[in-house]
Amino acid sequence: MENEKIGKYLQNKRNKLGITQADLAKEMGVTFQAVSRWEKGDSIPDLDSLNNLANYYKITIDEILQREVEKQEQDNQENEENYEALIFAFVCISYFIGIVVFTLIKFVFLVEWIHILGYVFLGLCVLGSLMLQNMSYFVMYEKNENSKKWYKRSFVPFGIVIFIFIALSIIL
């Protein structure tokens, strides 16, 4: 039971970095089968390997052998996912408000020079959202596979807004 928990912890640490068992094995100077056995709980790393793993993951050997850390890691993962959802919602709402205000200005005000305000407001919404996306990725997240996937997904609303903006500009 202890070995399986340690193995699961090691697997989570490796997956968080987005590396394969073979990559880790090469870094540790062991075979990928040894890494596989550690992660399945069939065996635990020897003292030298534990020391190398701790140095590689920038943690202590005690953290590898403790189970309480797993709960903390899961809580951190949940918080990160909630934060991503919050940013994604804010970005989508910002784009929506920008499009609505842009459309209202185009319909309500018939004076051509006021239409520029619609373009400026939509531009500010888009720029603010893009800045938030980039800050959250480059400042607050570790560079792992999950944050890279989130970062790429976060540009879907941007593409939709650009498409709607072009369509509205042509129609109106």
| Amino acid 73: pLDDT | 63
Higher pLDDT, 42 or 167: 42
Model confidence at 37, pLDDT cuts 50, 70, 90, reads very high
* Interval 60-117: pLDDT, tens: 887 887 755 556 666 666 676 677 777 778 877 888 888 788 777 777 776 677 777 7
Tell me the longest C-alpha to C-alpha distance in the chain: 77
Provide DSSP, 88-154.
HHHHHHHHHHHHHHHHHHHHH---GGGHHHHHHHHHHHHHHHHHHHHHHHHTTS-S-HHHHHHHHHT
